[in-house]
Every structure is written in C-alpha cells, then in structure tokens.
Copies of this chain bind each other. A is one copy, B any other.
C-alpha cells in the first residue's frame, strides 16, 4: 500500500507583488519563477524528493523522507536568496489526492494566498521514519511514442505542442478522476504521475483512454520506492524497458 507524503508550496502574496508599485518586467518574473523552481528541485532533490512546477506560484512536491526540520531549512534558504517568501503545507495519505487535499487545507486555514499578513507558514506532519516502507511512493513515467517523428519533425512547434498538450490534459484529468493520481508535465513529451497502489490494468486503461480520446499514443514505466527518487528512477528504467521491448506498460514494483 502506498503512503504518499506531499508538500504544497505556495509563494506568499505573489500576485500583488508582481504589480507593485508597477507591473514588473515579464522576463524578470519568468527568470525568478523558473530559478525558484530549479532551486526547489535541488533542495528537495538532494533529499530524495521531486518537485513539479505546476503553476510556478504554487508547486507540488513528493516529499517522503523529508522531515519538518528539512522543510524549515528549505524555506529559510529560499527567503535568504529571493525577494519573495513561501509557505509550505505537508500531509500524507493512502491516495496522493487526499494527501494534497490536506496539505492545501493547512495553508488555506492559515489565510488566503493573497493575505499580506500570512507569511512563511509551515504546517503539517511528515511520516515518522519508523513508519516508512519501500512501498510508500508509486511513480509512473509516461512518454509519447515517437513524438519526434510524428510531431516535432513534421509540424510547426506550436502545433506539436498542441498535440502533446492535449495528451497531457486528457491524461491528467483522467488519472485524477479515475485513479486518484496527480500527473505533471515535465517537459518534452514526458509526464510523471504520482499514484496510489495501481496495477497494470489501471495504466493500460489510462493509456487506452488517451489514445481514444485525443489520438495520442503513450507508453508508461512504473516504479515504487521509499522516496520519489527511488520510485522515479525505477519508473525510468521500466520506461526504457518499454522502449527496448516495444511494450506499452511496464511495472518495476
């Protein structure tokens, strides 16, 4: 059984900051946002977590193995280096969706995302070390078949992007609805999903659904581990196995 720990990362009162006193240069905002994400990727990644950029002002991390003290340290490191601060909600659950629901609520209870007096909240309960197991995190790494040949080398880049985006939008909504999973676009034609304890049929079902709904052919490798990095690396190897053996679903559990 999975036991997912997620962290909801929210930049404090960011909307007003972007336009005070005047709208700030978009290229600087883009630089700020993508570097903040890069830094969080390293800060969580060095502790075996994964971060997804989601909307950039709100991000989601798989944080199994990362305690409250490490969260504090990450929060402080960002405030030492950026003009903005961030709040963190940490929660766990059998299903990733429930875990995130609780994590978000912790922030919402502390005040609005645009409450200028709510700053650097850190709330929640990580999993105690003694209760962690090698089955806590299940990660699926989805990839579009032959994206280069079918899209990138054929269409203009925006139309390629529309195809990939449709595949992602369909998968992301279906996995949320049918399988309580959180799916994130990670660049190129790749999507990483944080899942509960799903079996081969569930993944096949999802891949079939996307193929039928928007005619995008996916394959998927699935891994499991005590942390995001363990589960995620297994998923990558399983995906390579899909490539090598022309399979659509490969589980490395």
Interface residues of A (CB under 8 A from B): 8, 10, 14-15, 19, 23-35, 37-39, 41-47, 50-51, 53-58, 60, 73, 76-77, 79-83, 97, 100-101, 103-105, 108, 112-114, 148-149, 152-162, 164-166, 169, 172-173, 176, 182, 186-189, 192, 229, 232-233, 236-237, 239-240
Find out whether the CB atom of A8 lies under 8 angstroms from the CB atom of B80.
no
Residues of B within 8 Å of A14, CB to CB, are 188
Query: How far does the Cβ of A166 sit from chain B's closest Cβ, in whole Å?
Result: 7
Interface SS of chain A: helix, strand, loop or mixed? helix
Residues of B within 8 Å of A103, CB to CB, are 156-157
Find out whether the CB atom of A27 lies under 8 angstroms from the CB atom of B15.
no
Residues of B within 8 Å of A153, CB to CB, are 108, 112-113
Given contacts A19-B236, A97-B156, 19 further A-B contacts (CB under 8 A): A25-B77, A26-B50, A30-B186, A31-B81, A34-B35, A34-B53, A35-B81, A42-B43, A54-B158, A55-B160, A57-B187, A58-B160, A97-B158, A104-B157, A112-B148, A112-B153, A113-B152, A113-B153, A158-B182
* Copy count, this protein chain: 4
With A83-B80, A162-B176, A233-B25 known as contacts, the answer to whether A41 contacts B50 (CB < 8 A) is no
Find out whether the CB atom of B38 lies under 8 angstroms from the CB atom of A31.
yes
A57 to B187: give the CA distance in the assembly, Å. Answer: 7
Residues of B within 8 Å of A97, CB to CB, are 156, 158
Q: Which of A29, A42, A53, A233: most chain B CB closer than 10 A?
A: A42
With A172-B162, A172-B165 known as contacts, the answer to whether A26 contacts B187 (CB < 8 A) is no
